[in-house]
Amino acid sequence: MKAGRFVVDTHVHAQRHAVGSQLSKMSPRSDGSRYNDLAQAMRLTQAYDNSPRLLYDMDCYRVDMCVLLPAFGMTNEINMQLVENHPDKFVACCTAMKTSQKAMRGEEPWTIEAALKEIDELLATGKFVGIGEGTPGDSSSRKTISMETRLDQMRPFFDLARKYKVVARVHTGIVMGYPLTHHYWPETLHPLWITDLAVEYPDVPILLDHGGMQGWWSERMVEEAFTVAAANDNVYLETGYYWTELYWKALRDPNIGPEKLVFGTDWGASIPFHTQYGQTPQAYPVQIRSQGLPQHQVDPWGWALRQVTALDIGYDDINLILGGNAARLFKLKVPHSRMFRPVSPRLVPQWDNPKNATNGPRTSE
């Protein structure tokens, strides 16, 4: 049986890096881990179109649509082309990839002004549905950023999201392999910071990438993400890497519930799964440094979809989690009207007519 009526993965990387040549130039760290090297190599390597594997997996798991995101050395242009080639399967978010890559290569310093200009031009095309993955920052920086400084960096990008009426994405959660610092995305370690922006921008839908759980077993950042989402109507949780018990926690909260959960897995990322038999969670995504880099295309959908469908709840709620909420936030075209149960007008983006709360998202009719 298909997992849901209309399944959307809102966090997909359709591009991949051939980093072997770049890695061969780098001396491995003394602890044997190469995730730090991989993070650097991907930023310096041009990504290629990996959509044939993605389309194969979409067919295998009957995923209807994907929201494509750029990251590291990926490009907005490849994603734009994929959307044009497969308008029934893909939409895309954009971020300041050229500005970031120039800074990483030492060609030009990263500035907010350059990043804003790049994203403004992309959103002006009308071909992108959000800003992300995450909120732009200086990935070349080696300076610790305070909460006040970082929120001041983020506000102009939320202004752009408001201007173009698109989703603003914020990265939360960690995977244990890539280096953890307060240089680039400090909010990823402190989801509570986002509550200030949520209050200041009540008309901007904010999606917390990973919902605090990009990988690992700790629930600390998930709990912080829950706090922000429960306290603000415009904050949503991406839940693709939640195990079933984490879904239950969100569903029990009357200020979260199924209406604010959005499926998204980070398909295409180098995040393998670890199984610890007889424990909770029994399996979870995590980068294990001692095992080295995965050599295959990791398969997240089998595990992730099973965590959702294991919930013994009404399928109208599951349909919201797997596609209905995404269709509302990203204004997706769906096969028919009235596919999803209505949600409170409070959860409909303020720039849309409140009647969308009963009529549902855009349709192809």
Residue 360 predicted with pLDDT over 70: no
Q: Say yes or no to pLDDT of 45 above 90.
A: no
Domain that holds residue 134: 8-359
- Counting DSSP H helices and E strands in the chain, the numbers are 14, 12
Report pLDDT digits (tens) over 203-215.
999 999 999 999 9
Q: What is the mean pLDDT of residues 314-328?
A: 98
Residue count (the chain): 365
With respect to residue 233, please indicate whether it lies within any of the assigned structural domains. yes
Between CA 37 and CA 29 the distance in angstroms is 8
The per-residue pLDDT for range 47-103, each reduced to its tens digit, is: 889 999 999 999 999 999 999 999 888 999 999 999 999 999 999 999 999 999 899
Residue 33 has pLDDT above 70, yes or no: no
Q: Does some domain include residue 259?
A: yes
323: pLDDT strictly greater than 80: yes
Confidence of residue 365 (pLDDT cuts 50, 70, 90): very low
- Give yes or no for a contact between 268 and 50, defined as CB atoms under 8 angstroms apart: yes
What burial letters (b/e) apply to 71-85, b meaning 16+ CB within 10 Å?
A: bbbbbbebbbebbee
Pairing status of strand 130-131 against strand 167-171: parallel
> Quick one: pLDDT at residue 104?
83
- Report the phi/psi class of residue 29: left, alpha or beta, with left for phi > 0 and alpha for psi in -120 to 50: beta
Q: What is the CATH number of the domain that holds 232?
A: 3.20.20.140
Asked if the model's pLDDT at residue 28 lies above 80, the reply is no
pLDDT at 73: 82
Per-residue confidence at 40, pLDDT binned at 50, 70, 90? Answer: low
Alpha carbons 92 and 265: distance in angstroms, whole number = 15
1 part of a folded domain:
no
How confident is the model over 150-156, as a mean pLDDT? 98
pLDDT more than 90, % of the chain: 76
Q: What stretch of H or E contains 325?
A: helix 325-330
pLDDT of residue 25: 62
The total number of structural domains in the chain stands at: 1
Is residue 97 in a domain? Answer: yes
Exposed/middle/buried for residue 153 (C-beta within 10 Å: 0-12, 13-18, 19+) = middle
Residue 2 is assigned to a structural domain of this protein = no
Structure confidence at residue 24 as a pLDDT band (50, 70, 90): low
User: What is the structure's pLDDT at 7?
Assistant: 98
| 362 Rama sector, left if φ>0, alpha if ψ -120 to 50, beta otherwise | beta
CB of 132 closer than 8 Å to CB of 173: no
Give residue-wise pLDDT tens across range 124-138: 999 999 999 999 999
Question: What one-character-per-residue DSSP string does 165-206 give?
Answer: T-EEEEE----SSSPP-SSS-GGGG-GGGHHHHHHH-TTS-E
Has residue 365 been placed in a domain?
no
pLDDT tens digits, one per residue of 174-232 = 999 887 788 889 999 999 999 999 999 999 999 999 999 999 999 999 999 999 999 99
pLDDT for 179 equals 77
Taking the C-alpha atoms of residue 256 and residue 237, their distance in angstroms, rounded to an integer, is 9
Is residue 3 in some structural domain?
no
Write the CB contacts of 59 (distance below 8 Å, at least 6 apart in sequence). none
Taking CA atoms, 1 is separated from 55, 209, 346, in Å, by: 19, 28, 33
For all residues of the chain together, what is the average pLDDT? Answer: 91
- Report whether pLDDT(18) > 70: no
DSSP string, 38-89: HHHHHHHS--EE-HHHHHHHHHHHT--EEEE---TT--HHHHHHHHHH-TTT
Distance CA 298, CA 303 (A): 11
Cα–Cα distances (Å) from 191 to 126, 173, 186, 226, in that order, read 29, 8, 9, 9
Q: Which pLDDT band, with edges at 50, 70 and 90, does 293 fall under?
A: confident
**Helix, strand, or coil here: 37?**
helix
324: nearest Cα among 332, 352, 309 = 332
